[in-house]
Structures are given as structure tokens and as C-alpha cells.
Structure 1
């Protein structure tokens, strides 16, 4: 078979297998389609499919096919991160800055401390810190991975739970929005490259000027043209971010942050995000799965993943409960918010991908972080659903 035919076989597998599992097994209560796709990527990777059927794996996922898939995956994740940046609405966070700042700070800070403590234990052993990563970079990177909340996945989950447009859902979005900003800020700190400091300074200064100009332009053109201009802006920022030594995904996120969702229309943004998730993000999930490795031994990886999961879940719940006590929430309300903020999946995986690209962590550490993200996201809906039912009408009450 030629390259095109094998490539299309790979695409068929990527799209068909997770969707069929999700549809036939009806996993939505504990694993929405996006989680099934992520797990599917792991199973289709070298650690599972490659180990069980090595000849078939080598035939379908050969290097030239992987190269072609990676090109799609890069653009897919850039689009997704760009959308996440656009959807950040910091005006409401500023309006309620006291409550939002306290809750977001504790919801991020406590699991960050817990994750950093877990990382300190893990990094005592060889094979977990990347070749180019300083100890503090790996420590902070793993700790922040435990604190991440995936804002786009949170939006999808709260849509399914019918609380996205309620007062409580909007409050939770404010907390997650501030945490999203902090996550990318910490990532920029981790990736700070003193050898490219001049380039990074040029990027920051140039981006500030370009952002001012792009906002003026976007406000003056019609909605149809905004999509085309926005995509050109995304590609340019991705290139500039990577050239500066940060990462193309940092550039993509910043490209979205400086744009307003109202310029595109919220319903159009929802449709576009869902289209990206359906049509090209599964290719990114597969490329993520292809990066999973079990070099440290299966039990060691699962043990580290379990430790990180305990730090992530326990730290997030503790942080939100402390905020709830200070703000006078009920235990049920604090538990619901804590569980909903557990959604990690995509943003954590993107975060870990960048750390792996920069060799701050090893492929084995990446695999453990990936398992932790999947576990955390899968726990969210089963624990949140009964809490929403228990709160009842209070979900709709004004904050």
C-alpha cells in the first residue's frame, strides 16, 4: 500500500475505535467521548497495541504516517488552545475579584503544593526528570500539572450537567479562568530560556504592539473576516512563540487571550470548538498516546500516577473547602465546586506535552501524568452529579 492508503487506514482507526467504544459501551456517565479518545490514544500507542501486535503497529503507524499525523495534531492543538484563550472572560472575574481571587488561589495553590511534594518524592529516583530539565523546572512542572483545571473540558461537562448558564456554573468558570492564566504564566516561567532571553524580550514587546493593533483591526472588520484574520494571527503568534524559545502553544494561547469571544459570537465559538474536538483533536490524542512509554516498569508508572492523582484530587478538594469555610459555603457546595474543578484532560495533557517537548520530563513521567489526568477527569462527573441533585434549586441561586 502507498502512504496515502496507510494514512487513511490510520485515520479510520483513530476516529472509529474510540467512537464505537463510547457509543456501544455508553460510557458518558464516567468517561465522556473526549476521555475515551484520550484512552484510545494510549491503547493505540507503542505500549499496548505496539506490544501486542508489533507487526501491525509497525505497518500502520510507520514513521512517514506518524509525521503526517503530527502535522494535523500540531494545528489541532493550536486551534484548541486558541479557542481556550478566546473563551477566557476576565471581566466577571474582576467584578467579583475578592471571592474569585481567594477561591482560585486556594484551588490552584493547595494542589500545587501537594503536587510539588509528590514530585519531590518522585524525583529522588532516576528516570523521571528530563535530560534538559533543571530540578526546579521538573518539580514545578509536575506540581502545576496536579493543579491544572481544563477550562474547555469544564465547559463541556457543565453543559452536559445543565449548569453552565446557571449562577453557580458561571462562578466556577470565573475560578477556572484565573487558574488558566496562572497555569500559562507558570509555564512561561518554566520555559524561560536564558540563552534566548533577547528573543523572548523581543517576542513580548512585539506581541504587546501587535495585540493592540490586532484588537483595533478585529473591532472594525465584519464577523466573517474575523475568522480568517484570527487564524492568520494564530499561525503568526505560534511561529513567534516557538522562535522565541517558549513554545508554539504558548503563542497560540496568547493569540486567543487578546481576542474577545463576542467578536465571533458565543454560539459560533461553541460550534467551532465542538467541530475541532470532533474532526481533528482525535489525531492529537493519538499522537499523545504514541508518546506514552513504560520504561520505568508498568507498576512504577501506575504507582506514580496514583500518587499524583491523590495529590491532585485531595489538594483541589482541600483548597476549595478552605475557601468555602472562609466564604460561608455549605460543605455540599464546596464539594461540588471542588469536583468540577478536577477536570484536567486536555489542558494538562497539552501542558505535559510541552514539558516533554522541552525535555523537562521524561516519556515515563509524561505517561504517569497522562494517567493522572484521565483518572481525575473520569472521577468528576460521577461525584458531581449526586451533589448537583442534592443542592437542587440552590444551583440556580444568584452568587
Structure 2
């Protein structure tokens, strides 16, 4: 078979297998389709399919096919991260700045500290830190991976739980929005390359100047033209960030963060997010699974994932309870908010992909982080749904 035919076989697998597992297995309560797609990507990777059926793995996921899939995955994740940036609503956070900043700070800082401690333990053993990382980059990267909240997936889960438009849902969005800014700011710090500091400063200056002109232009355009201009702006920012050494996904987030939500029809934006998740993000999940590695031994990777999960979930819950105590929240709110804010899924996986690309973490650490992200996301709805019912009855 030629490369095109094998590529189409790979695409058929990507879109068929996870959907069948999700639909036939009725996993939606425990594992939404995006989680099933991530898990399927892991199963189709070198650690599972490549181990048990190396010939099939080498045939379907040969270098030419993987290169084609990676191109689709890059564009998919850039679109997804841009949408996450657009959906930030910092004006609401500013209007409730004391409550929002205190809660977001504790919900981010506590799991960050726990994650850094876990990373310190991992440094005691070989094989976890990437070949080009300094110890502080590894520790801060792992800590921030434990602190991440996946804003787009949080929105999807709150829609499912019917609380997105309610006051509690809007509060949680404010906290997650501030944490999103901090996450990408810390990532930029980790990626700072003093050898290319001139380029990076130049990119940030150019972004500020061009961003001012871009905002003025977008204010004058009709909505139908804004969608096209947003895609042009996305490619320019992603290229500039990657050229400067900050990674194209940092540029994609900045491209979205500078845009106002009001520039776009909310229903169309929701549809775009859903369509990106439907049409192209499954390719990203598959390409992510292809990067997993178990060479340190499956037991070690699972133990590391368990430690990271405890640091992540425990840190979020402790931070939320501290905020609830200081702000006199109603009983049950702190636990509900803490569990929803620990949702990791896509943003943590994107974050980990960047760390792996730049060799801050090893592929074994990446695998442990991936397992942690999947487990934390799968826990959310089963834990939150009964808590939400009890809260509604009070």
C-alpha cells in the first residue's frame, strides 16, 4: 500500500475505535469521549500496540504517516488553545478580584507546591528528567502540570452537569481563567532561553505593537471577516513564538487571549470548539499516545502517575478548602469547586507535550503525566455529580 492508503487506514482507526468504545460501552459518565480518545491513543502507541503487535504498529504508524498526522495535530491544538484564550473572561475576574485572586492563587499554588515536592522525589531516580533540562525547570514544570486546570474541558463538563450558566459555574470559570493566565506565564518562564533572549524580547515587543493594531482592525470588521482574520493572526503569533523559542502553542494562546469574546457569536464559538474536538483533535490524541514510553518499567510509571495524581487532586482540594474557609463559603462548595478545578485533560496534555518537545521531561515522565491527566478527568463527573445533587437539596 502507498502512504495515502495507510494514512487513511490510520484515520479510520482514529475515528472509529474510540467512538465505538464510548458509544457501545456507554462510558460517558466516567469517561467522556475525549478521555476515551486519549486512552485509545495510549493503547495504539509503542508501549502497548507496539509491544504486543510490532508489525501492525510499524505498518500503520510508519514515519511518513506519523509525519502527516503530526501536521494535523499541530493545527488542531493551535485552534484549540486559541479558543481557550478567547474564552478567558478577565473582566469578571477583575470585578470580583479579591475572591477570584485569593481562590485562584490557593487553587494553583497548593498543587504547584505539592507537585514540586513530587518532582523532587522523581529527581532522586534516573530517567525522569529530560536531557536538556535544568533541575529547576523540571521541578517547576512538573509542579505546574499538577496545578493545571483545563478551561475548555471544564466548560464541557459544567455544560454536562448543567451548571455552566449558573452563579457557581461562572465563579469557577473566573478562578480557572486566572489560573490559565498563570499556567502560560510559568510555561514562558520555563521556556526562556537566555541564548535567544533577544529574539524572545523582540517577539513580545512585536506582539504588543501588532496586537494593538490587530485589536483596532478587529473592531472595524464585520463578524464574518473576524473569523478569517483570527486564523491569520493565529498563524502569525504561533510562528513568531516558535521562531523566538517560546513554542508555537504559547503563541496560539497569546493570539486568543488578546481577542475579546464579544467579537464573536457565542453559539458559533461553542460550535467551533465542538467541531474542533470532533474533526481534528482526535488526531492530536493519537499523536500524543504515540509518544508514550514505558522503558523504565510499567510499575515505575504507574507509581509516578499515582504520586502525581495525589499531589494534583489533594493540592486542589486543600487549596479550595483554604479559600472556602477564608471566604466563608457555604458547606459543600469548597469540595465541589476543588474537584471541578482539578480537571486536567487537554491543557495538561498540551503542557506536557511542550515539555517533552523541549526535552524538559523524559518520555517516561510524559507517560506518567498523561496517565495522571486521564485519571483526574475521569474522576471529576462521578465525584461531582452526587455532591452537586446534595448541594441543590440544601
Tell me the TM-score normalised to structure 2 length. Answer: 0.99
Aligned counterpart, 1:320: 320
Matches of 2:313 and 2:331 in 1, distance apart?
16
Q: CA deviation at 1:331?
A: 3.7
Aligned counterpart, 1:342: 342
Aligned counterpart, 1:227: 227
Matches of 2:379 and 2:16 in 1, distance apart?
25
CA RMSD of aligned residues (A): 0.7
Q: CA deviation at 1:330?
A: 3.0
Aligned counterpart, 1:206: 206
Aligned counterpart, 1:283: 283
Aligned counterpart, 1:148: 148
Aligned counterpart, 1:185: 185
Matches of 1:224 and 1:298 in 2, distance apart?
50
1:44-87 deviation line (CA, Å, top 9, x unaligned): 10111111111111111000000000000000000000000000
Q: CA deviation at 1:200?
A: 0.5
Aligned counterpart, 1:157: 157
Correspondence 1:117 to 2:141: no
Superposed counterparts of 1:83-94, under 5 Å: 83-94=83-94
Aligned counterpart, 1:106: 106
* SS of structure 2 residue aligned to 1:128: coil
Contact 1:301 1:365 in 2 (8 A): yes
Aligned counterpart, 2:391: 391
1:135-166 deviation line (CA, Å, top 9, x unaligned): 00000000100000000000000000000000
Tell me the TM-score normalised to structure 1 length. Answer: 0.98
* SS of structure 1 residue aligned to 2:332: helix
Aligned counterpart, 1:41: 41
Contact 1:321 1:331 in 2 (8 A): no
- Gap regions ≥5 residues in structure 1: 395-399
Matches of 1:26 and 1:57 in 2, distance apart?
27
Aligned counterpart, 1:397: none
Aligned counterpart, 1:78: 78
1:347-389 deviation line (CA, Å, top 9, x unaligned): 0000000000000000000000000010111111011000110
Q: CA deviation at 1:393?
A: 6.3
Matches of 1:129 and 1:31 in 2, distance apart?
30
Q: How many residues align?
A: 394
Aligned counterpart, 1:261: 261
